[in-house]
Structure 1
Amino acid sequence: MSKSKFTFMVNTLVNLTWPTYTSSRIKNYAVSNRPSMNEPPNQSRTTTDEKLAKYWSSNKTMGEVLRQADQLYESKNYIEVYELLNRLKYNNNSEVKWRIARVLYQTTADNVLPLEIEREMIDEAYTLLIDEATEENINASIHKWFAIICDCRHRLLGLEERIKGYHRVLKHLRIAYKLDPNDITVGFLLGKLCFDLANLQGFKRFIAATLYAEPPTSTFEEAFEYLGKVEELSDWNFISNVYYLGRTCFKLKQFYKAKHYLNKACYMKPKNDYERKHLWEAKQLLARVEKYTIGKEILYPNCNCDMEKPIE
């Protein structure tokens, strides 16, 4: 990313979110503050931590810098995270790279930046991760954020690229899930993607395959498996996941369970616009579920019960 474009991005973000930043601080910020390649070697600097400590003129180790970056990220100080980590990307450290990609993605998530800047930031994140996201890399966060960045990048490039990119996104989400099955975000994204792919049947799939490329396949049962695991881990604290559980059960014609999950979603408090959207959709779908009898169907999947039928 060029310095002029990044400065424009920073000024835009400062006006929206961080009014306490001064223009002089932003003006003096260097986008790429790579150490000089002409610096004479110092035989006493033998470890990564020693090099890092000298570079920062402090006693901070890499672990301490990463912890500081995580604290700043949790506080939504995204510019400070980028400023803190950007110069360290040349150390070729996976932990640094996925954190930079994460903050670049998060900065674009609200869709308030100009499209050109948003694309450039996502491209920067993609470039950081593409060489790291190999099957041999066992860092779950690399595969998780590479999948997220890829899907975002494909979406910005258009429908054709997004459909073509589903194979790659699904592959890296599954790798991330295998490496860390307790990651709620990965579980939800996998469940949602499996639902979308299972829902892409018949004429829609034919059109996609004819015009663009054959999308990967999945099932509603697979979607329910991932989403159900997320509910076990999140303790009913994620409206979007509960909504998709209800929607998946509706597609499986398990109307009692669909009503159960949708009712749960309707009584939950949304934390952001994404969850508010799914809360509204849960209420709309619940009204449709009410048209179906629930018979002897109960919440547990192993119950031997009658087939549900719509009310005539």
Structure 2
Amino acid sequence: MNRVGTKLRCSYVLRHKSHLISRNVSDVHHRGQPTVTQLLRTKAGVHLTKAILGCTGVLLSASVANTVMAAENEETPAAPAPVGDSPVVVEAAATVIAEEKPDTSSSVPIEEKQEAPAPSLPEEKQETPAPTEEVPAPTGEAPTPTADAQDTSASAPAPAEAESAPVVEEVVKDDVVKKADLLYDEMKYEDIYNLLHPHAEEKNDEILWRLGRATYEKAKAAPADSQKVLYKEALGYVEAALSLNDNNFAVHKWMSILIDYVYGYEGNKARISQSYNVKHHMEKACELNPTDGTSRYLLGYWYYTIAEIPWYQRKIASLIFATPPSGTYQDALDQCLHAEKLEPNFYSKNLLMIGKCYEKLGNREEAIVYIRKVKEYLIKTADDRESVDEATQLLKKFGVV
């Protein structure tokens, strides 16, 4: 008989013979916890032992056999049968089986000494269930917040204050920019410089290009030996603005102006070498803000300057570029007329440029019309003064009062 069959048979006997066994145990059990020997001296012990021997075919030792035989000759008064199986009987049977060793001389061999491996459990039963209670984090480490904790922290006032800080900072910067623009209309360039310079290290392209513009205006009014340094300083501010925002049309506009001024101090060759770079920024400014008249004027001025280059400078340009920059008076006139259409009478130098282009193209009549406008222009800036003076000289040249 194999081990599995033995276990099944023992289970059957213990379960279905318990009503015979338990009657004779209650009197012993009533007097206290019985020992194995006491159980064996009862008829219950006899029935149990025989049942086990019948299941397993194991021979008992002599001491156990004598105890069983003595118990058979004794008479134990019957007791009322308890309901259900007696746990003491089951425990005693297990003890007997554990204490008794099988006799190797038995004719019934014990076939397998090693039990078969237990079947694998399903994957979902092998997983350790998550604890229902949270384990506190070790000292010094913040516990991972749950969803509720995150919601609570989100509603706390501290983060709200932190979020409001950048908003307040932006409002302050906007106020600085607005004040700088008002000062520019009043042509108080030194005040603009003093207002914006403390913010020079801040990463704000709107502040930086305005600081560059104010520095440029300072340079124009400064002594000749200081202008070069100030123009370079101004270019540095605008280059910083460009690194922050490549899509700001005003940054590109002032890049074109300041590159031309800075490299103009280095000589004609240096200035010509930057001609394409200057044009690129002018065209980018026009692209980003098609309604800005100043950007169109600058592009017209670039074409006029290229058209004015004498033959020896063109030779220099041919040495620097495979294809030297080219431009005509007509190109310049088209851009300046476009600027005037966008913003009529917005800049005295644009009116003057239109008159000069007409004159170069042989249309003196139209040239005089625009040059007269310049002479009558209300002077507000140094540029206006220069334009009016030049217009007056041109009219004299044309013989017009």
Q: Same fold (TM over 0.5)?
A: yes
The TM-score, its normalising length taken from structure 1, stands at 0.65
1:240 aligns with 349
1:37 aligns with none
Post-superposition offset of 1:75: 3.0
The TM-score, its normalising length taken from structure 2, stands at 0.52
Q: Which whole-Å deviations, capped at 9, do the CAs of 1:102-159 have from their partners, x for residues lacking one?
A: 111111112x2362x4333322332233254379821101101111121121122333
Size of the aligned set, in residue pairs, is 241
1:206 aligns with 314
1:154 aligns with 263
AA in 2 matched with 1:49: P
Alignment of 1:23-62 (within 5 A): 44-46=161-163, 49-50=166-167, 52=169, 60-62=171-173
Structure 1 residues 121 and 210: alpha-carbon distance in aligned structure 2, compared to 1, 3 A threshold: same
Structure 1 residues 65 and 236: alpha-carbon distance in aligned structure 2, compared to 1, 3 A threshold: closer
Q: Which whole-Å deviations, capped at 9, do the CAs of 1:259-287 have from their partners, x for residues lacking one?
A: 33233334434444433443343344445
Q: Which whole-Å deviations, capped at 9, do the CAs of 1:178-235 have from their partners, x for residues lacking one?
A: 111322322222212211112226x244343267667521122221121112222443
* Match of residue 86, structure 1, among 191, 197, 210: 197
Alignment of 1:198-277 (within 5 A): 198-200=307-309, 203-209=311-317, 215-236=324-345, 238-277=347-386
2:219 aligns with 108
Alignment of 1:172-211 (within 5 A): 172-200=281-309, 203-209=311-317
Which is bigger in relative contact order (C-alpha 8 A, separation at least 6)? 1
CA contact (8 A) 2:273 2:320 kept: yes
Q: 2:332 and 2:247 mapped to 1: Cα distance?
A: 24
Q: Which whole-Å deviations, capped at 9, do the CAs of 1:29-48 have from their partners, x for residues lacking one?
A: xxxxxxxxxxxxx9753466
Q: 1:147 and 1:268 mapped to 2: Cα distance?
A: 26
CA contact (8 A) 2:213 2:254 kept: yes
2:253 aligns with 144
Q: Which whole-Å deviations, capped at 9, do the CAs of 1:80-117 have from their partners, x for residues lacking one?
A: 4333333333331111111111111111112x2362x4
2:230 aligns with 121
Q: Percent sequence identity over matched residues? A: 24
Q: 1:221 and 1:243 mapped to 2: Cα distance?
A: 15
Alignment of 1:13-28 (within 5 A): none
Post-superposition offset of 1:173: 1.0
Moved over 6 A (4+): none
RMSD of aligned alpha carbons: 3.2
CA contact (8 A) 1:191 1:227 kept: yes
Q: 2:180 and 2:270 mapped to 1: Cα distance?
A: 33
Q: 2:356 and 2:313 mapped to 1: Cα distance?
A: 20
User: Gapped runs of 5+ residues in structure 1?
Assistant: 1-41, 54-59, 292-312
Structure 1 residues 275 and 76: alpha-carbon distance in aligned structure 2, compared to 1, 3 A threshold: closer
AA in 2 matched with 1:103: A
Structure 1 residues 212 and 285: alpha-carbon distance in aligned structure 2, compared to 1, 3 A threshold: farther
Q: 2:371 and 2:355 mapped to 1: Cα distance?
A: 5
CA contact (8 A) 1:249 1:258 kept: yes
* More displaced stretch, 204-213 vs 168-177: 204-213
